Amino acid sequence: MKGLRIWMVGVGIFYIMNLVLLWPTLWAPQIPAMYPGINLYQDEIIFQLLLDAWLIVGLGLAAIGVVLIAGSRNPMRYYPALIPVVLITETIFGIWDIYSAMNHEDVVVAMITLVIHIIIIVPGLLLWKKAAALEASTSE
């Protein structure tokens, strides 16, 4: 399924790019814009802990991204495991974004990230359904 392969590669590349974007030297200057008016203690060790936590998020996404790209070589074999991983990840991060928007995160930033989650989730659901139907029709 070409659409499934494209989705897996696209999401995989996006997830790997997140690691680059969340790298502490690139991410540190961006965080104050996400949390306007909040003292982030940027000159203290606690800020480094925050950057480290974001780096772990990036590493986790990059790991999923690598597996998605590898799985895209045979998407019909790997979609039953990979699509749910992405959908669960996106749902959890979407909930995190809603929570963050309600608790000091810039609302525009939260809305942009929510739209990104939806852009990944909706095609993922549609492709999952299509792949399952195709698999069911070929096994009969």
Q: What are the tens digits of pLDDT across the range 59-78?
A: 999 999 999 999 999 999 99
Number of domains in the chain: 1
pLDDT score of 6:
98
Structural domain containing residue 27 = 2-139
Answer for the pair 78, 127: CB distance below 8 angstroms, yes or no: no
pLDDT score of 1:
87
Interhelix angle 75-102/107-139, nearest 10 degrees: 160
pLDDT score of 103:
87
**CB-based contacts of 66-69 (< 8 A; 24+ apart in sequence):** 66/12, 66/16, 67/12, 68/8, 68/9, 68/11, 68/12, 68/15, 69/8, 69/9, 69/12, 69/13, 69/16
pLDDT score of 82:
98
pLDDT score of 132:
96
Residue numbers of the chain with a pLDDT score lower than 70: 140
